[in-house]
Amino acid sequence: MNEFIHNLDLPAKGAWFPITLGVIALVYLLFMPKRLTWREIYFTFGIVAVVAIVVDVFLMMNYLDIFDLGRDPKQEGIGDLIAYGVVPACYAIIFLNYFKEEKKWMYVILFTILSFLSEWMLVQVGYMKLKGWHTWYSIPVVLFVFGVWLPWHLRLMRKE
């Protein structure tokens, strides 16, 4: 049991931030007025979480080694999972829930700012340590995700 608790990496500097952000995002997601079906929420959560974890944890952290999360870069803790699995999936679902084509760019910019500030705060609280990466590098990626990929994902899910 001690090893399990140790592997959660709870004592990591700033671990409170991704955990708190994840809880807030999940609670908001559960209680927001829903335009998406539970099926759309389920699929979006799974797909976005897997893509975010593969890209951020495996590609960016392990392969390219441009940033570290938590205390030990070789150990993924609960904060890592929440920061790169739960939070992006919740943001994607909330974005798609309110998404309207006529207000697309307003939502894209709003969620890009939210995502940027979330990542920036991970650095500020000391949970994310940058090694050649700059937080603003994420802006074009996030703009693509909210501006292109997620609207396409929603159309694909609703296509029968």
pLDDT tens readout for residues 11-45: 888 999 999 999 999 999 999 999 999 999 999 99
What pLDDT, in 10s, does the model give residues 61-74?
666 787 778 777 77
User: Which stretches within 2-135 are classed as H helix?
Assistant: 2-7, 16-31, 38-52, 78-81, 87-98, 104-124
SS3 for 33?
A: coil
Number of domains in the chain: 1
Helix, strand, coil percentages in the chain from 3-state DSSP, rounded to 5: 75, 5, 25
CA distance 68 to 57: 9
Read off the pTM. 0.92
Classify 67 as helix, strand or coil: strand
Q: How high is the pLDDT of residue 2?
A: 74
What does the alpha-carbon distance between residue 46 and residue 69 come to, in Å, rounded to a whole number? 22
Confidence of residue 6 (pLDDT cuts 50, 70, 90): confident
Domain that holds residue 55: 2-158
